[in-house]
Amino acid sequence: MSHFLGALGATEIDWNSETDSLVSGTVIYELDDPEEVQDFRWHISRENTLCSTLFNLVKLIHKNELLDIDKFKINEYELKQLYCETYGLDLSNKQFNLLLVSLLNINVNMLDYGEETDIFFMHF
């Protein structure tokens, strides 16, 4: 989760609670500015759990700063090439597309005054 939120601009994360079905906390964007924060709540399900291959993809996106806010700076083909080269994989387009669908279906709720108002997500 820290790589996912980090790829979306989080400098630091203040974790509030974690259970089998829920993770919540506060994303900190600017350490010097207490106004640059966003509370979040992630409802964990079997469909949106970060398996090792999805975790590696998220980590790659974060490490290489491949997002402009929440939009990819590169296309799907370039992301696949970088992912396969980095991890020494030879994934088919179908295999990588399944991985991408899993990634693009991750939605982490933003909280404003305790209410879920928006979501963190990635897109092309």
Note the pLDDT of residue 60.
98
Mean of pLDDT over the chain: 94
The structural domains of the chain, with segments of one domain joined by +, span: 2-120
Residue 61: in which H helix or E strand, if any?
helix 52-63
- The DSSP result for 90-114, as a single string, is ---HHHHHHHHHHHHT--EEEEETT
Q: What confidence score (pLDDT) does residue 48 get?
A: 67
Give residue 36's pLDDT: 95
Report whether pLDDT(46) > 90.
Answer: no
Q: What is the pLDDT of residues 68-90, one digit of tens each?
A: 999 999 999 999 999 999 999 99
> What pLDDT, on a 0 to 100 scale, did the predictor assign at position 94?
97
